[in-house]
Amino acid sequence: MGQRRRERNGEPMAARIGETGPARANLRLFAWLRAIAVTGQAATVLATYWILGIPVPLAPLLGASAVLALVDAATFVRLRQPWPVADAELFGQILVDVAVLTVLLYFSGGTINPFASCYLLLVMYAAGALPRRQVWIVMAVCVFCYTALRIYYVPLPLPPSIALEHELMYSAQWVNQTLLAALVAWFGVRINDIWLQHHRLRRAEAEKDAHERSLIGLAALAAGTAHEMSTPLSTMSVVLGDLRHSSAPPPDWKRSVELLWQQIQTCKRSLSDMLNAADIEKIGQAQNVPVKRFIQNLAERFQLLRPQIALDLRCAEIDDALAIKSDPTLVQSLLSLINNAADASPHAVALHAWQKDLVLVIRILDRGPGIAPQLRERLGRGPVTKSGHGVGVFIANAAIERLGGIVQMFDREDGGTCVQVDLPGFLAGQSNASEAANTQT
């Protein structure tokens, strides 16, 4: 197996994007920065000795820079190899730089040397390239070395010239400021790249989520239409079967023909609704519908499907201005739940609706045998049997939740099942005013 993706708390954003890519890029950049630093160190030491005339110990200073140059050359050779680069390797390389910087400062005045602020550069780089724990270790080591250099160091043999001391300080400050500006610019560009990548990932996830919601809506339409058409087709099959086996037209043949006509129109309307709403873009578009009209249309549509079943409709204590967001998948989902209740209780079902604050509460009640507790826990998550029973409830539950609704199912005290659907609502006038304000904004 390859390297496992790290999910440690505190890992820098750059390291979370990939496995070895960010670590390798961090090490490569650090090697180039070190090459610049080694060149600057050697040039500073020689300029201090030959140009400024300060007798600094050349052997240990140039020797430390040479050691760092060899480490840097080995790092470039190592980066040519295909081996993966881990954060621990970069961590070790930064500690090497801390050690060499400490040696250089020890032989050149300790913390009095203006280049002592280079510890800050190393901590800053570690903060952008290493996990949190290793960053704190680098910081602690730098603080320890800086503190020790305040006590133990070889003083600079500076001549009694204030101008020379100021010139040395200004030169060091210029180098430090230049390196700090370069690091800040690099980190800023990198953070911006990470933000752009994060934005692209979020947009891709949003598009994927919208696509999945559309597929759920399409599945709800298909399942609801199939369920809605199964009842008229069964009715037509029974009526046509009676007519086929009858030697003469029955006395109520006109009533039978009218029933067949109604059922055919119901099937045509169901197919038409599915075809009109099957567009992926239309599925995601919900419309504002007054609650009272929505409940009434739902009841009428069910009665056309199951005219032989008595429906106890109760719709009270609902504000005339209360509305909900609705699309064809919501209607199909509620019809599917009512049809399930009618299948369990073929004589009568109840549809009760009321308002609780700005929430529409719908209860679908039946007097069927109920649902076993172990099956009720699985309903809404997927099929509960190998034959696929429960798929309709699963799709209906997903479609209702997609519109912000909640589906609950429990047994009635005196027998039967109650399915409760809570849908978020709003006052139509307030919604229009809010939308107008948003449009103006």
Where is pLDDT greater, at 195 or 386?
195
Q: Which amino acid is at 337?
A: L
pLDDT of residue 276: 59
Q: What percent of the chain has pLDDT over 90?
A: 13
When the pLDDT of each residue in the chain is averaged and rounded to a whole number, the result is: 75
- 415 and 283 in one domain? yes
Where is pLDDT greater, at 416 or 437?
416
- 154 and 217 in one domain? no
pLDDT digits (tens, 9 = 90+) for 281-303: 555 567 888 999 999 989 988 88
User: Are the CB atoms for 97 and 122 separated by under 8 Å?
Assistant: yes
Q: How far is CA 383 from the centre of its chain?
A: 27
Which of the residue ranges 66-70, 213-217, 370-374, 398-402 would you say has the lowest mean pLDDT? 213-217
pLDDT of residue 280: 46
Total structural domains within the chain: 2
Query: Which residue, chain included where needed, has tokens 């009720």?
Result: 376
**164 occurs within a structural domain:** no
- 306 and 425 in one domain? yes
Q: Which helix (H) or strand (E) holds 42?
A: helix 21-46
pLDDT digits (tens, 9 = 90+) for 311-331: 999 988 788 889 998 877 788
Euclidean distance between CA atoms 244 and 284, whole angstroms: 45
Which of the residue ranges 28-32, 254-258, 334-338 would you say has the lowest mean pLDDT? 254-258
pLDDT of residue 430: 58
| 3-class state of residue 284 by DSSP | coil
- DSSP conformation letters of 6-21: P--TT--HHHHS-SSH
Structural tokens at position 31: 């090697």
Dihedral-angle region of residue 224 (phi above 0 means left; psi in -120 to 50 means alpha; beta otherwise): alpha
Euclidean distance between CA atoms 336 and 425, whole angstroms: 21
Query: Which residue, chain included where needed, has tokens 């020689």?
Result: 46
**151 occurs within a structural domain:** yes
User: Are the CB atoms for 401 and 393 separated by under 8 Å?
Assistant: no
Q: Which amino acid is at 118?
A: C
Structural tokens at position 191: 């953070």
Domain boundary among 159, 188, 221: 159
- 375 and 238 in one domain? yes
pLDDT of residue 6: 39
Where is pLDDT greater, at 260 or 298?
298
**180 occurs within a structural domain:** no
**345 occurs within a structural domain:** yes
Contacts of 382 (CB under 8 A, 6+ apart): 390, 391, 394
Which of the residue ranges 209-218, 410-419, 421-430 would you say has the lowest mean pLDDT? 209-218
Which of the residue ranges 269-283, 285-299, 346-360 would you say has the lowest mean pLDDT? 269-283
Where is pLDDT greater, at 403 or 240?
403
**Other CB atoms within 10 A of residue 302 CB:** 23
Domain boundary among 115, 132, 159: 159
**278 occurs within a structural domain:** yes
Dihedral-angle region of residue 109 (phi above 0 means left; psi in -120 to 50 means alpha; beta otherwise): left
pLDDT of residue 102: 92
User: Are the CB atoms for 264 and 240 separated by under 8 Å?
Assistant: no
pLDDT of residue 10: 43
**Other CB atoms within 10 A of residue 413 CB:** 7
**203 occurs within a structural domain:** no
- 261 and 124 in one domain? no
Euclidean distance between CA atoms 363 and 276, whole angstroms: 29
| Residue 189 predicted with pLDDT over 70 | no
As a whole number, mean pLDDT of residues 252-270 equals 73
pLDDT of residue 343: 85
What separation in angstroms does the CA of 287 have from each of 161, 215, 311, 353, 433? 83, 19, 27, 20, 16
Structural tokens at position 144: 């320890």
| Residue 357 predicted with pLDDT over 70 | yes
Q: Which amino acid is at 317?
A: E
| Residue 262 predicted with pLDDT over 90 | no
Euclidean distance between CA atoms 377 and 390, whole angstroms: 11
Structural tokens at position 71: 């480490």
pLDDT digits (tens, 9 = 90+) for 78-132: 988 888 888 889 999 999 999 999 998 898 888 877 778 888 888 888 887 888 8
CATH number at residue 374: 3.30.565.10
**307 occurs within a structural domain:** yes
- 364 and 218 in one domain? yes
pLDDT of residue 9: 40
| 3-class state of residue 388 by DSSP | coil
- 345 and 429 in one domain? yes
- 118 and 234 in one domain? no
Euclidean distance between CA atoms 297 and 294, whole angstroms: 5
**186 occurs within a structural domain:** no
Where is pLDDT greater, at 286 or 72?
72
pLDDT digits (tens, 9 = 90+) for 132-165: 888 899 989 988 998 898 889 888 766 655 445 5
| Residue 166 predicted with pLDDT over 60 | no
pLDDT of residue 254: 72
Query: Which residue, chain included where needed, has tokens 């490569």?
Result: 28
Domain boundary among 159, 178, 202: 159
By residue range, what is the domain housing residue 362?
Answer: 213-440
Q: b/e for 324-356, b at 16 or more Cβ within 10 A?
A: bbbbbbbbbbbbbbbbbbbbbbeeebbbbbebe
Q: What percent of the chain has pLDDT over 70?
A: 69
As a whole number, mean pLDDT of residues 426-437 equals 60
Across 222-236, 238-252, 313-327, the highest mean pLDDT is recorded for: 313-327
Contacts of 63 (CB under 8 A, 6+ apart): none
